[in-house]
Amino acid sequence: MPDLKLLHDAVLNGDAKVARTVTEEALAAGAEPVRLVQDYMMPAMAEVGRRFESGECFVPELLLSARAMKTALAILRPLLVTTGVPPVGRVIIGTVQGDLHDIGKNLVASVLEGGGFEVIDLGTDVSPEAFLAGVREKKPHIVALSALLTTTMPAMRTTIEALEEAGVRREIKVLVGGAPITQRFSDEIGADGYSDSATGAVRLAHDLLGV
């Protein structure tokens, strides 16, 4: 069995290659996939999020950690499914229509994955119709919307309205975030939660689902 601390450190230091090899070696040596995720990767990602928020690391480091975690998760996810370990919840995330900013959205997606959620990323410039189609197809517990432009903030409202009109709004929780978003705006458009950080998004997601 490889030293699993190496997996923790690979995510922390953003080293996707090491994350992959340690994950493969650990699996070959009989490690339980869920332990790798919960005991090593999730704490590492939580620490990266903390360091980012306190200004100890910056966007490049955070993106690399997210990539390392995704690389290991790609190997582990199919095994988690076959061994019957359910994700904490399913999230559909995307940047709203007209908006191409995705750095914050990607970080939120990664930290949610690190927090045990299954995340389906619809990308950027996602129309209300595309969110609705995603909800119908994937049956998520949460829809997370990101917007970085004042001009695209209204698209959050139209997305929520589209979900309401289609009669699916009550089945899901809607989270919103992005630099110009405020709690007030979130309340105004009838979202279920707002956070200004990726780690806050995970806490919120846990609270909303009561998990």
* Contact criterion met (CB below 8 Å) for 163 and 169: yes
Q: Find tokens 């966007």 and name the residue.
A: 59
* Contact criterion met (CB below 8 Å) for 171 and 207: no
| DSSP 8-state class, residue 37 | I
Residue 146 within binding range of another protein, rule CB under 8 A? no
Q: Which stretch binds another protein (CB under 8 A): 20-28, 61-69, 167-175, 186-194?
A: 61-69
Residue 180 within binding range of another protein, rule CB under 8 A? yes
Q: Which stretch binds another protein (CB under 8 A): 33-41, 88-96, 101-109, 155-163?
A: 101-109
The alpha carbon torsion through 7, 107, 128, 195 (nearest 10 deg) reads 120
What track of x and - describes contact with another protein for positions 22 through 51 (by CB under 8 A)?
------------------------------
| DSSP 8-state class, residue 52 | H
| Residue 150, token pair as written in the block | 């004042």
Q: Which stretch binds ligand B12 (CB under 6 A): 8-16, 69-77, 100-108, 163-171?
A: 100-108
Which positions lie near another protein, rule CB under 8 A? Answer: 14, 55, 57-61, 63-64, 67, 98, 100, 102-103, 106, 149-151, 179-180, 182
